Amino acid sequence: MDPIAGAWVVAYPCQDQVSSDANGHFAVECAVPFDSIAVHAPGYVVAVHLVPENGHLDLALVPLSFDLDAVEVSANAAPEREAVALPTGDFMDVLDATPGLASMDLGAGLVQPVVRGLFGSRVAVLEDGVPQQGARWGADHGALIDPDLYAASAWVPGSGQIQLGPESQAGGLRFQSAPWTGETAQTTTAGWTARSGDLGLKAFALHTRSDSTGLFQAGGSWSAFGDRNVPQSQFSYLGRTYSLPEGRLVNTAGRSGHALVQAERPRTGSGTFKWVVRAGDVRQGLFPGIVGIPREGDLAPDGNRHDVALPLQHASRLLATFKWTRLPDGLPEFRSHTASFAWNRRLELAPPHAHGWGPEPTSPISLELQEWTAFAEGLRKAAHGHVGWQVEALALQANGWEFLVPDHRRLRASSWWSNGTWSARFDGVVAAQNAHSEPLYNAEGTVIGTDVRSVARTWWVPGGTLSYEHPFTWGTGTTGQLTASASTRAPSNYEWGAFGIHHGTFRFEQGNPDLKPEQTLEGRFNLDSRVHQDALRIHIQGFAALHRQFIHLAPSASFAPIVHAGQVYAFRAVNAFRSGAEASLAWRRGPSRWTLDASALGQWELATGLGLPFTTPLQARVGWEHAPPSQKWSVAGGIKGIAPAWIVARNEAATPGTVLFDARFQRRGRHGVWLVKGHNLLNTAWLDHSSSYRALGMVAQGRWVSCSYQLKINH
């Protein structure tokens, strides 16, 4: 082990600083008794150690390491030890390529992340620690995220993560803005991508200026995509079969735009102030088959693959976050306070059509959900642990002639404590919903009663989390952690109050106001190993969870009173068991690198032995990459096998397995990087078990090849 010269050592609480000498030695003294030191050295992970005063300490610093690729940069910016960094790139691609994650296919503009088979409100999507709410109104309302406009992202597996909030039973995804480091730099990152298949185009630019006085960042991205290409000529809906001429899903085109403005300024003696404003807007067509009963002519492709017509959805959002962080003088701690406000709106526009015998509406706005949220967090972190609190409030207003969920409000307050090993969080949730009813018509169009869709109700739900984390080290190259947690989750307002048809999932979903909080007991492990001088890297993680009163959608014994909707799916609580594991292996030999990424998941109802819906099937991808060290190019390819999905819920058909091939070529140019990627090279028709379109028997997107160029300019 080589000595590290020039390491910067800070003693707490006096904050006296010294540097290590050429032999790695240092001596630090304080006028007051001190309890810990922090050691900073370029290229190594910052180490905080508890030390006895006048004691002797030998420190081994862990080299700071990350996978650095000219295009894909991984960095972990999450406070959770179990967090796994995600690479940059197309959000759906990243999710589908990461063991344990999947994307629920809602079209190219909206993405519903699936973490270990769970989604919706069970998956927290956090931007700079602030939860994005808009993806919690059902499976077909995805998150508005463009990873190109973040500095880092990570996924956090498992329940009981105290800072992710009580709803995130599956875990969450964290997206972090660029931090201010004090470095003087001015850079512009930009890129574009063109994709065959759905004729997608994307461009983005992100400008960053940083110096000792602060950081400023502004950027935006824009994308357009055409009708989705599918290797399929017909599909079925409600027992009817339709042909798909030209192998494309008509009216699935759209466009999206995202923007970011960020500023961060340090103030001597009062900490650092950070402002982040993000906006997103997605307008995307909805396949006509999912609204009403389509006629054959409705599915005939028009001339322009990028045209969007009714039915369509339009999602917009605005998020403003203010964060104040402070390292108080003379105290060995870190404090931060975050306040955030967000506005989310989802519009669904469809050809006006009557439900049952009611009159035909006059407006194309079938559904409008507007949500205002506020979030605040306080965190006080010291060498021995941290304490914090969160308050999250939302108000949702629903409009349109397609009732989905009643107007509702929700307030959550949480506080937590952690010493790094044991963590506890206490939650209180108060939620309320309004009543909603519509006239009930007979066949002659006469009002004969009232169709009650929701009743006014208020819920008070206490809850909490207790978790135990045990990091361990084996030998010199293996680290890991065992975690056990017990947690509760209050039902979402959607699970309590939904009562309507989803045009994105083709289902009539009904809430249950009598649902009680879920209770979860979960055990997890993860293991990282580097052997043979880093030639072989192994990451394995797994979990087993027992859920009491686990809330999920199940088919009921009744049909929707609407021609174009089938069976009613109702939220109900069952006891369930879930277990799964993910593994990533990378073996480097010379210029070649072999990888294996695999995941397995099982989810069952305990009483019946049936599976839970959308249980991701066993899958593995074997990849090979060749990157000659003296060359500027690399080539890679992979084979992904997906096993048949045999763990299925009631009435859920098993999904056959498949094999998919992909390839990649990358070349570094003078100013940037060229990347050519091919997906589903054999244009295989396969059913994605995590896709909403699977209910129609529609296969996943066919072959596409993308070409992208990305450059970074240092001004």
Residues that bind another protein (CB under 8 A): 236, 238-243, 293-297, 300, 302-303, 356, 484, 521, 523, 544, 546, 554-559, 561-563, 566-567, 577, 579, 604-610, 650-651
Buried b (16+ CB within 10 A) or exposed e, 115-134: bbbbbbbbbbbbbbbbbbbb
- Residues constituting the chain: 715
Question: Is the backbone peptide bond immediately before 613 cis, with ω within 30 degrees of 0?
Answer: no
CB 155 within 8 A of CB 506: no
CA distance 380 to 337: 9
- Residue nearer to another protein on the CB measure, 19 or 233: 233
Give which of 656, 634, 637 is closest to 645, Cα–Cα.
656
- Residue nearer to another protein on the CB measure, 334 or 357: 357
Q: Which residues pair with 685 in a beta bridge?
A: none
Radius of gyration over alpha carbons of the chain, in Å? Answer: 26
How near is the Cβ of 254 to another protein at its closest, in Å? Answer: 21
How near is the Cβ of 196 to another protein at its closest, in Å? Answer: 24
- Is the Cα torsion angle 64, 66, 68, 73 positive or negative in sign? negative
How near is the Cβ of 649 to another protein at its closest, in Å? Answer: 10
How near is the Cβ of 76 to another protein at its closest, in Å? Answer: 28
Q: Residue 198 class from Cβ within 10 Å (0-12 exposed, 13-18 middle, 19+ buried)?
A: buried
CB 290 within 8 A of CB 503: yes
CA distance 568 to 505: 12
How near is the Cβ of 575 to another protein at its closest, in Å? Answer: 8
How near is the Cβ of 419 to another protein at its closest, in Å? Answer: 18
- Which conformational region is residue 532 in: left (phi greater than 0), alpha (psi within -120 to 50 degrees), or beta? left
- Is the Cα torsion angle 194, 198, 199, 200 positive or negative in sign? negative
Mark out the alpha helices in 154-238 (DSSP H runs).
Answer: none
- Residue nearer to another protein on the CB measure, 561 or 590: 561
Report the SS3 class of residue 681. coil
Q: Which residues pair with 116 in a beta bridge?
A: none
CB 88 within 8 A of CB 73: yes
**CA 177 to each of CA 75, 219, 647: distance values in angstroms, whole numbers, following the listed order:** 12, 12, 39
- Residue nearer to another protein on the CB measure, 116 or 326: 116
CA distance 136 to 138: 6
- Residue nearer to another protein on the CB measure, 85 or 647: 647
- Residue nearer to another protein on the CB measure, 51 or 540: 540
Give which of 285, 313, 283 is closest to 299, Cα–Cα.
285
How near is the Cβ of 301 to another protein at its closest, in Å? Answer: 11
DSSP track, 32-48? S---EEEEE-TTB--EE
How near is the Cβ of 557 to another protein at its closest, in Å? Answer: 3
How near is the Cβ of 508 to another protein at its closest, in Å? Answer: 12
Beta strands 185-195 and 171-176, pairing class: unpaired
- Residue nearer to another protein on the CB measure, 24 or 294: 294
Query: For 57, what's the count of Cα atoms within 13 Å in the CB-facing half-sphere?
Result: 21
- Residue nearer to another protein on the CB measure, 17 or 608: 608
Q: Which residues pair with 173 in a beta bridge?
A: 125, 155
CB 126 within 8 A of CB 150: no
How near is the Cβ of 367 to another protein at its closest, in Å? Answer: 22
- Residue nearer to another protein on the CB measure, 153 or 541: 541
- Residue nearer to another protein on the CB measure, 427 or 605: 605
- Residue nearer to another protein on the CB measure, 71 or 574: 574
How near is the Cβ of 631 to another protein at its closest, in Å? Answer: 49
- Residue nearer to another protein on the CB measure, 603 or 616: 603
How near is the Cβ of 546 to another protein at its closest, in Å? Answer: 6
How near is the Cβ of 418 to another protein at its closest, in Å? Answer: 19
Beta strands 567-589 and 507-510, pairing class: parallel
Report the SS3 class of residue 494. helix
Question: Is the backbone peptide bond immediately before 13 cis, with ω within 30 degrees of 0?
Answer: yes
How near is the Cβ of 295 to another protein at its closest, in Å? Answer: 4
Give which of 336, 340, 426 is closest to 133, Cα–Cα.
340
Taking residue 662's Cβ as centre, other Cβ atoms within 10 Å add up to 19
How near is the Cβ of 685 to another protein at its closest, in Å? Answer: 17
- Residue nearer to another protein on the CB measure, 546 or 627: 546
CB 14 within 8 A of CB 23: no
